[in-house]
């Protein structure tokens, strides 16, 4: 009888393991890992993945030099990374774009920035995975370098991102404040080093965990 009961218990179906929560990090060179030693280890999406742990699968969909603006010189919309991010069917999306949009050849289309940001949000909101979307405020730029304009980022782009987030009921992640006053971790005044990337990762990690465990 004991053997029969034990054999029967072996046939009882075990619960399926929970699927990992998929996190897609969209962005430009700072997301991709430019300026970071060994970005395959130290880019902020990789660090974020380690912080989140084995219950999450985090992927880096950053592409250097890309803009949110569809009419920008190098729009993120045209990249394979954008298509791959949607095909990934993420559960969580972080969008960190806007730095390259501050360049003069791009910001001449500033009237379309809010419209294009809404459209990008709508693409991911329409996925079958129904992800939670976070809009990241760009990190500060510490000089006009590579034609990136610190004043436009602070005074124009960030307010628009906040406005769209409020319209869409989305949470912002304030990377601007988190990395302000820390020029020493920006070797070229634009791209944070590995210390800065880790700080970005910790800031996003805190926002994600707070939202999941209010």
Residue-wise pLDDT tens digits, 54-81? 999 999 999 999 999 999 999 999 999 9
Mean pLDDT of the 82-94 span? 98
Distance CA 139, CA 178 (A): 8
Q: Per the domain annotation, does 8 fall within a domain?
A: no
Measuring CA to CA, how many Å separate 13 from each of 4, 6, 19, 91? 16, 14, 17, 27
Structure-derived torsion over alpha carbons of residues 175, 100, 198, 205, reported in degrees to the nearest 10: 50
The count of domains in the chain is: 1
Position 141 confidence tier, pLDDT thresholds 50, 70, 90? very high
Q: Look up the domain containing 142 and give its range.
A: 19-212
Q: Per the domain annotation, does 90 fall within a domain?
A: yes
Distance CA 176, CA 99 (A): 11
Q: Per the domain annotation, does 10 fall within a domain?
A: no
pLDDT at 15 over 70: no
The secondary element (H helix, E strand) that includes residue 94 is strand 92-96
Q: Per the domain annotation, does 30 fall within a domain?
A: yes
Q: What CATH number is associated with residue 171? A: 3.40.50.1110
Residues with Cβ within 8 Å of 129's Cβ and at least 6 positions away in sequence, in order, are: 22, 89, 90, 91
Position 1 confidence tier, pLDDT thresholds 50, 70, 90? very low
């Amino acid at each position: 009888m004991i053997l029969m009961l034990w054999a029967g218990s072996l046939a009882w179906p075990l619960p399926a393991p929970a699927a990992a929560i998929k996190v897609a990090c969209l962005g430009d060179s700072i997301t991709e890992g430019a300026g970071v030693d060994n970005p395959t280890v130290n880019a902020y999406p990789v660090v974020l993945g380690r912080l989140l742990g084995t219950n999450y699968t985090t992927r880096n969909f950053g592409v250097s030099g890309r803009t949110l603006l569809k009419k920008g010189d190098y729009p993120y919309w045209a990249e394979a990374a954008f298509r791959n991010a949607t095909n990934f069917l993420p559960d969580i999306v972080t969008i960190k774009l806007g730095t390259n949009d501050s360049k003069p050849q791009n910001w001449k289309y500033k009237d379309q920035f809010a419209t294009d940001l809404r459209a990008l949000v709508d693409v991911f909101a329409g996925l079958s995975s129904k992800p939670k979307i976070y809009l990241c405020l760009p990190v500060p730029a510490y000089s006009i370098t590579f034609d990136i304009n610190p004043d436009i980022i602070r005074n124009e782009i960030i307010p628009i991102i906040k406005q769209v987030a409020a319209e869409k009921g989305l949470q912002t992640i304030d990377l601007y404040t988190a990395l302000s006053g820390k020029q020493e971790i920006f070797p070229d005044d634009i791209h944070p080093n590995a210390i800065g990337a880790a700080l970005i990762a910790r800031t996003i990690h805190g926002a994600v965990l707070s939202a999941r465990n209010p």
